[in-house]
């Protein structure tokens, strides 16, 4: 009996922060992150290092905390801008996954959509020689349209032929990877880097080595757009008929059809929006963070975005914060490795633990509601 009471008291302590259903979209990811960092700290302790020092070094490397010294033309500000530059395509990619999930679809082809959009924008605009005032907005337009067409194809195949979107997106990933690799190696290869030729500075969505206040910084032009798109997407999903219909289709297709909602149209529309956002991720990645494309390589960001989206509770604003957290760990890992003497792969372990515990969000929610029901039953018995 005492053992059961102790177990119940422990459950109360663990699940108390997430028992309020109103705040669960925030509290569950936060609890998952805290638990994952505790687990990561244990891993670091097991290899004989100081976890607090390691976490502090991560923040220093990402530009959140100051370093003891900086190289010429560098500062905490330049490190932070590099963090935002890396974070920008991750936000777009994670939003792409979220839109598809809202419609009950699993877009595992974000990497392929990024690659196709980045390649098309590269050959149409990146090598065109257009002025920056035309080239930069045109890159975004081409990226969104290209990604939207690829995503729309997946949605149409799902609706018209009931082809599972996971299968079709995986196949399109490989198709895009090898076809684009062929064209790069045949027509656009740089003989020195063995990657595609670098895009022009006028078309690039990151301003590189901008000199200001005796600093050389990389300014990501797409970052503000990513924040604006996240806010607009939240408005679309929560405040419009289109958003309501997409979420209704995702919740229950049969019920949505019975209510008069065009299921097929909304599935295709959701994948068009998802693919368009993946396209924006592609151009901010291949014509922003990088300036070229490596043949035969799919960006891991397209797959990481699935977990980042889940960590953000498939919520546009939550995705901004989850992308920020994952980018801090990713960008700060090199400095952590050099300063704390911890292998850089430990950062991947930390990210993996965060994403693992975030995937347990549904379980945490279930246990919290279960504990709440037990407390209600106990009070009823007493009364």
Model-wide pTM > 0.95: no
pLDDT at 338: 87
Q: What is the mean pLDDT of each run of 10 residues along the chain (383 residues)?
A: 52 61 73 83 88 91 92 91 96 97 94 97 95 96 97 94 93 95 95 93 94 90 96 95 95 92 95 97 96 92 89 91 92 88 80 76 68 64 65
pLDDT at 355: 75
Domain residue ranges of the chain, discontinuous segments joined by +: 1-49+343-383, 70-341
- Per CATH, the number for 70-341 is 1.10.3470
Q: What is the DSSP string of 81-150?
A: HHHHHHHHHHHHHHHHHHHHHHTT-----HHHHHHHHHHHHIIIIITT---HHHHHHHHHHHHHHHHHHH
């Amino acid at each position: 009996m005492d053992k059961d009471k102790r177990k119940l008291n422990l459950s109360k302590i663990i699940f108390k922060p997430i028992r309020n259903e109103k705040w669960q979209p925030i509290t569950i990811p936060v609890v998952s992150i805290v638990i994952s960092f505790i687990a990561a700290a244990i891993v670091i302790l097991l290899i004989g290092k100081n976890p607090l020092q390691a976490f502090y070094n991560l923040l220093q490397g990402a530009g959140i905390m100051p370093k003891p010294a900086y190289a010429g033309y560098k500062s905490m500000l330049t490190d932070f801008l590099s963090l935002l530059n890396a974070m920008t395509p991750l936000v777009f990619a994670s939003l792409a996954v979220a839109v598809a999930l809202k419609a009950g679809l699993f877009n595992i082809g974000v990497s392929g959509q990024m690659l196709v959009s980045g390649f098309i924008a590269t050959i149409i605009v990146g090598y065109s020689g257009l002025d920056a005032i035309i080239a930069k907005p045109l890159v975004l337009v081409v990226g969104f349209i290209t990604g939207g067409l690829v995503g729309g194809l997946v949605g149409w195949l799902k609706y018209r032929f009931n082809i599972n979107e996971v299968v079709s997106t995986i196949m399109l990933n490989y198709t895009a990877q090898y076809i684009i690799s062929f064209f790069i190696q045949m027509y656009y290869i740089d003989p020195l880097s063995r990657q595609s030729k670098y895009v022009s500075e006028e078309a690039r969505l990151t301003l590189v080595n901008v000199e200001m206040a005796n600093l050389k910084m990389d300014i990501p032009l797409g970052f503000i757009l990513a924040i604006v798109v996240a806010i607009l997407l939240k408005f679309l999903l929560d405040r419009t008929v289109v958003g309501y219909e997409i979420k209704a289709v995702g919740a229950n297709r049969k019920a949505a059809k019975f209510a008069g909602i065009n299921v097929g149209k909304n599935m295709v529309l959701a994948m068009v929006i998802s693919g368009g956002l993946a396209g924006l991720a592609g151009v901010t990645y291949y014509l922003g963070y990088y300036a070229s494309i490596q043949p035969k390589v799919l960006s891991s960001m397209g797959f990481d975005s699935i977990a980042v989206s889940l960590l953000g509770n498939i919520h546009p604003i939550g995705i901004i914060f989850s992308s920020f957290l994952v980018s801090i760990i990713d960008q700060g890992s090199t400095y952590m490795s050099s300063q704390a003497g911890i292998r850089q792969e430990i950062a991947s372990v930390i990210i993996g633990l965060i994403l693992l515990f975030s995937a347990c969000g549904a379980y945490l929610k279930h246990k919290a509601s279960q504990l709440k029901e037990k407390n209600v039953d106990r009070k009823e018995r007493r009364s």
